[in-house]
Amino acid sequence: MLGDLAAEIASHLIGLPLDYGTTVEQIAALLVAEPRNRAAVCAVVAVVVDDALADPFRETTSNRWRTRIPAWVAPQMIGVTVRRMLTLDVLVHTGRYVRSTDKHGRNTGKLMALYALNLAAPALLQTRTTAEQPAA
């Protein structure tokens, strides 16, 4: 299952620099708790991570990736996935804001957060999760 997940996400990504090849796989694995949400979560994670990795400072904002989310993904899944990425410290708030260009959601001109991708978070969370599992 995890291999399929990685292949699906990788098909949406630009070439990842250095050793970031497992980053998307790790992030998606942490977020997919409900199997029915797998495809939507993977689509959102792939677009957000792809955008952040394309930025020299690993920063991202929904202004840049909003139109790249597939139309079949429910808007609620986008928000839930981004909030979960924030909770897991995969995305971190930079303390800066930009003006929204979201006309469809009637948010044009409103301030929205600028996030940075934390590439260390998936490895730290994986280590923590493994350490918390009871011994067999």
State the Cα–Cα distance between residues 26 and 7, nearest whole angstrom. Answer: 12
Residue from 28, 18, 63, 35 nearest 49 by CA = 28
Q: Delimit the domains of the chain by residue range.
A: 2-130
Q: Which helix (H) or strand (E) holds 94?
A: strand 91-99
Give residue 96's pLDDT.
Answer: 92
Q: 50 is written with which tokens? A: 């792809």
What sections of 11-103 are H helices per DSSP? 23-31, 38-54, 62-65, 75-87
Give residue 111's pLDDT.
Answer: 86
For 43-78, the pLDDT digits (tens) are 898 899 889 989 888 999 988 988 899 999 888 788
Give residue 47's pLDDT.
Answer: 92
Query: Mean pLDDT score of the chain, rounded to an integer?
Result: 74
Residue from 111, 101, 40, 35 nearest 75 by CA = 40
Confidence of residue 9 (pLDDT cuts 50, 70, 90): low
Do residues 46 and 26 make contact, with C-beta atoms less than 8 angstroms apart? no
Q: Taking 70 as the threshold, does the pLDDT of residue 119 lie above it? A: yes
Q: Which whole-number Å values give the CA distances from 56 to 59, 102, 133, 135, in the listed order?
A: 8, 24, 36, 41
Confidence of residue 40 (pLDDT cuts 50, 70, 90): confident
Give residue 27's pLDDT.
Answer: 59
Q: 100 is written with which tokens? A: 């929204």
